[in-house]
């Protein structure tokens, strides 16, 4: 069985609603992980603020963090780091895991782009 | 005149700040100790003055009160508990994870929630674990001011429900996920609290309408939490020894009217009453006087020295009015009359022709009751946490939840039930209100000290968060802290009473504000019996005790001091129904 691990920066909660402003990307990502898990993939998500032991236990992850905290979030598939600094979309996750997205991937309304790009 | 009798192992004293929770819980504990019991008094109030009342330096472990065999006390400082909690979580990773990672973890543990939860964690250790208080017959909790207490008490049921329903690893216990391990302890805490054979909840109030309404609000909320063993303790009951003194007559009438019209559900509770004391309640001897029959010392009335008193409110308002706009915040321990003072300033500014918004973040929101009628130019608004949370939840769901599938939406809704959400929602409303001061006066009656500090702390944490993330941030939020620190934009007024504890608390508040980079514009000494001109023997004696505190504020503490005589603004207690309904009908803050 495939294994997907996500190493998140220190966040109050997984959807980001506890931050000063909700981030639709985080909300969608949480839903996408749920979808990935439903496809039979083992999903583990670690938050630096809550589960630092998971970070400390993975030398490759610590090495990336030493290069810069902007490497978080890190996505690891079967012990290989497949992306740094970004929450992948459902399609991207599916590609990395060799899954097919059958139904329309649900996206957050009004989030044609990342909030940081300020086009919305 | 008696203290509340206690048959249970645990007792909680809760009520609006300044009604005498600490005095009453200490007097009750002392009486029990003197009847041969071993008693532990616990304070979880961030603004606790238990040390002062018991005359003993306390710590976070039980300390014997030497002058009272059998009596022990401990003080839980929520901020110290939060620091210890943070170190417990972060410490083991120093030197293992990069420094930047450690810094970002620490950031997560510096929010208001951490303080709140760390305090609750300490409290749960005492209540949820019978072994922790095994050496005592009674454990008496002098709890924090009402809003704060209620949040502490609400958490266990919210959490028990939350922890039970949480699926997968994506829970939103925020920085407190580590506490999930303590589920059993919290479950035990909830069970103890709602077991009438184990716990008595004493609602402390005084013969004032607003304080009794507050007690009723608390009663309702506790009943909802399944807490049924409730008692009412009326403290500071006053009756003039002889009629004829205007102040004494007004105080007597006000008390009688308040008691006669108290909410029906409150009236059905078992009740005990303790008298208004001419001396304070600091020290064991004064505590004993709360239960012992009081002999009033003979009337002294000596003429007061004229000219040695600080001026009244008018000159201060005239100076505040000069700016033509900006934010005025009244701050202080609960029960000192921040609301009345804020309302008086707002009305006075409006009468000078300014546009004024009077707003409150006080969960008890007496502000609507304190304004005397509809004044042209004056708008009254209220930051209601429940409505703010609902609005925030709707906004988030509309913005981010629209395209989610059922599972994703459920997860989002679960996160929105977290304790942090209220903090954020209220904070945003506060920032919006401050923003209004750009082109008018905004007078904010802030919540009791502990909560206020948390709010400012939250402002600071968000401020850092804003600079760090560059997320989409309303301009009002972005500029909040710089505005609060700008002395030409925000005028902070410290409200206090001329008594030991309130002055002490105000001094602490001033220090806390200094740390946040905020310097108070003036101190307002409210409800002065000394300045009232009363000749009633009990009240005049009490007035005499104000003198050293007034002198200390003027000489050592305040850049500028104002003295408001007792009775000014108290006609607000008899506010006309029409004005209240006019305020209620006024549009909610956008």
- Assess whether B379 and B425 both reside in one domain: yes
What is residue B365's predicted lDDT score, i.e. its pLDDT? 52
Asked if B356 and B436 count as a contact pair (C-beta separation under 8 A), the reply is: no
What is residue B336's predicted lDDT score, i.e. its pLDDT? 83
Whether residue B198 lies inside any domain: the answer is yes
What is residue B449's predicted lDDT score, i.e. its pLDDT? 40
Cβ contacts of residue B469 below 8 Å, gap of 6+?
A19, A20
Nearest-CA distance from B113 to chain A in Å?
10
In the DSSP assignment, the letter for residue B19 is S
Does the pLDDT of residue B14 top 80, yes or no?
Answer: yes
Count of residues in chain B: 590
Task: Please name the residue of chain A whose CA is at the shortest distance from the CA of residue B401.
Answer: A108
> Is B453 in a helix, a strand, or coil?
helix
Q: Do B420 and A12 touch (CB under 8 A)?
A: yes
Whether residue B236 lies inside any domain: the answer is yes
- Assess whether B287 and B317 both reside in one domain: no
Active site residues of B: 18, 20-23, 45, 501
Q: Closest CB to B416: pick one of A17, A37, A52.
A: A17
* Partners of residue A23 in chain B, C-beta under 8 Å: 400, 471
Q: What is the ipTM of this complex?
A: 0.76
The CA-atom distances, in angstroms, between B55 and each of B49, B136, B138, B231, B418 are 10, 21, 21, 28, 40
Whether residue B1 lies inside any domain: the answer is no
Whether residue B90 lies inside any domain: the answer is no
Mean pLDDT of B514-542: 88
Percent of chain B topping pLDDT 90: 27
Whether residue B306 lies inside any domain: the answer is no
Whether residue B308 lies inside any domain: the answer is no
Q: What is the mean pLDDT of chain B?
A: 76
What is residue B438's predicted lDDT score, i.e. its pLDDT? 85
* Partners of residue A18 in chain B, C-beta under 8 Å: 172, 174, 415, 418, 420-421, 424
Nearest-CA distance from B414 to chain A in Å?
10
Whether residue B66 lies inside any domain: the answer is yes
Cβ contacts of residue A51 below 8 Å, gap of 6+?
B177
Q: Do B421 and A10 touch (CB under 8 A)?
A: no
What is residue B382's predicted lDDT score, i.e. its pLDDT? 80
Nearest-CA distance from B456 to chain A in Å?
15
Which ranges constitute the DSSP H helices of A1-120? 24-38, 52-56, 59-67, 90-97
Asked if B340 and B572 count as a contact pair (C-beta separation under 8 A), the reply is: yes
Number of domain units in chain B: 2
Count of residues in chain A: 120
In the DSSP assignment, the letter for residue A90 is H
- Assess whether B189 and B260 both reside in one domain: yes
> Which residue, B295, B328, B348, sits at the end of a domain?
B295
Q: Among A4-18, B154-168, B280-294, where is mean pLDDT lowest? A: B154-168
Whether residue B507 lies inside any domain: the answer is yes
| pLDDT confidence tier of residue A76, bands split at 50, 70 and 90 | very high
Domain hosting B68: range is 10-80+116-168+177-295
DSSP H or E run through B289: helix B284-289
- Assess whether B157 and B15 both reside in one domain: yes
Task: Please name the residue of chain A whose CA is at the shortest distance from the CA of residue B469.
Answer: A116
Tell me the C-alpha distance between A59 and A62, whole Å: 5
> Is B11 in a helix, a strand, or coil?
strand
Task: Please name the residue of chain A whose CA is at the shortest distance from the CA of residue B95.
Answer: A56
DSSP H or E run through B551: helix B547-552
* Partners of residue A42 in chain B, C-beta under 8 Å: none
Tell me the C-alpha distance between A23 and A16, whole Å: 6
CATH number at residue B235: 3.40.50.300
What residue has token string 């809550």?
Answer: A50
The pTM of the full predicted model, rounded to 2 decimals, is: 0.68
Q: Among B58-62, B143-147, B241-245, where is mean pLDDT lowest? A: B143-147
Nearest-CA distance from A63 to chain B in Å?
9
- Assess whether B322 and B286 both reside in one domain: no
- Assess whether B164 and B265 both reside in one domain: yes
């Amino acid at each position: 069985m495939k294994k997907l691990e996500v190493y998140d920066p220190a966040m109050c909660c997984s959807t980001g609603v506890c931050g000063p402003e909700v981030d639709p990307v985080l909300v969608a990502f949480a839903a996408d992980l749920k979808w990935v898990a439903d496809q039979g993939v083992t999903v583990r998500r670690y938050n630096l603020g809550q589960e630092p032991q998971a970070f400390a236990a993975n030398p490759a992850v610590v090495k990336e963090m030493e290069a810069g905290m902007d490497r978080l979030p890190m996505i690891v598939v079967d012990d290989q780091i497949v992306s740094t600094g970004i929450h992948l979309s459902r399609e991207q996750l599916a590609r990395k895991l060799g899954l097919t997205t059958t139904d329309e991937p649900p996206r957050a309304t009004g989030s044609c782009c990342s909030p940081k790009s300020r086009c919305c | 005149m008696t203290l509340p009798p206690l048959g249970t192992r645990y007792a909680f004293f809760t009520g609006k700040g300044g009604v005498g929770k600490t005095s009453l819980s200490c007097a009750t504990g002392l009486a029990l100790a003197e009847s041969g019991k071993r008693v532990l008094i616990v304070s979880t109030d961030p603004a606790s003055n238990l040390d002062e009342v018991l005359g003993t330096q306390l710590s976070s472990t039980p300390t014997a009160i030497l002058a009272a065999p059998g009596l022990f006390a401990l003080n839980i400082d929520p901020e110290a508990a939060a620091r210890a909690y943070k170190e417990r979580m972060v410490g083991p990773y120093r030197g293992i994870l990069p420094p930047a990672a450690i810094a970002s973890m620490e950031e997560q543990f510096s929010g208001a929630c951490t303080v709140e939860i760390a305090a609750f964690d300490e409290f749960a250790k005492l209540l949820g674990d019978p072994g922790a208080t095994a050496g005592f017959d009674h454990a008496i909790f002098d709890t924090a001011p009402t809003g704060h207490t209620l949040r502490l008490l609400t958490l266990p049921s919210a959490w028990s429900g939350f922890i039970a329903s949480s699926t997968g690893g994506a829970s939103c216990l925020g920085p407190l996920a580590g506490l999930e391990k303590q589920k059993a302890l919290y479950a035990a805490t909830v069970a103890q609290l709602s077991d009438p054979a184990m716990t008595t909840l004493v609602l402390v109030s005084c013969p004032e309408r607003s304080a009794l309404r507050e007690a009723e609000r608390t009663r309702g909320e506790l009943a909802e939490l399944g807490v049924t063993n409730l008692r009412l303790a009326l403290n500071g009951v006053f009756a003039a020894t002889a009629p004829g003194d205007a102040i004494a007559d007004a105080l007597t009438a006000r008390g009688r009217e308040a008691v006669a019209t108290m909410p029906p559900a409150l009236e059905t509770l078992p009740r005990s009453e303790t008298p208004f004391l001419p001396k304070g309640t600091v020290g064991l001897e004064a505590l004993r006087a709360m239960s012992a029959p009081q002999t009033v010392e003979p009337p002294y009335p000596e003429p007061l020295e004229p000219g040695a008193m600080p001026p009244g409110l008018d000159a201060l308002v005239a100076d505040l009015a000069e700016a033509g706009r900006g934010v005025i915040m009244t701050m202080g321990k609960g029960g000192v009359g921040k609301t009345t003072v804020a309302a008086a300033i707002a009305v006075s500014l409006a009468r000078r022709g300014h546009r004024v918004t009077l707003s409150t973040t006080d969960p008890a929101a007496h502000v609507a009751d304190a304004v005397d009628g509809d004044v042209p130019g004056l708008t009254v608004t209220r930051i209601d946490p429940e409505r703010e949370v609902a609005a925030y939840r709707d906004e988030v769901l509309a913005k981010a939840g629209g395209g989610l599938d059922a599972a994703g939406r459920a997860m989002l809704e679960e996160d929105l039930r977290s304790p942090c959400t209220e903090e954020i929602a209220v904070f945003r409303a506060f920032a919006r209100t401050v923003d209004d001061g750009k082109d008018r006066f905004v007078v904010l009656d802030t919540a009791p000290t502990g909560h206020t500090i948390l709010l400012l702390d939250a402002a600071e944490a968000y401020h850092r968060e804003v600079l760090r993330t560059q997320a989409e941030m309303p301009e009002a939020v972005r500029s909040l802290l710089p505005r609060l620190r700008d002395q030409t934009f925000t005028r902070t007024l410290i409200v206090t009473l001329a008594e030991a504890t309130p002055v002490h608390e105000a001094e602490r508040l001033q220090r806390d504000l200094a740390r946040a980079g905020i310097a108070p514009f003036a101190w307002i000494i409210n409800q002065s019996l000394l300045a009232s001109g009363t000749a009633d023997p009990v009240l005049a004696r009490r007035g005499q005790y104000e003198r050293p505190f007034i002198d200390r504020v003027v000489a050592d503490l305040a850049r500028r001091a104002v003295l408001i005589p007792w009775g000014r603004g108290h006609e607000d207690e008899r506010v006309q129904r029409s004005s209240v309904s006019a305020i209620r009908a006024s549009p909610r803050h956008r």
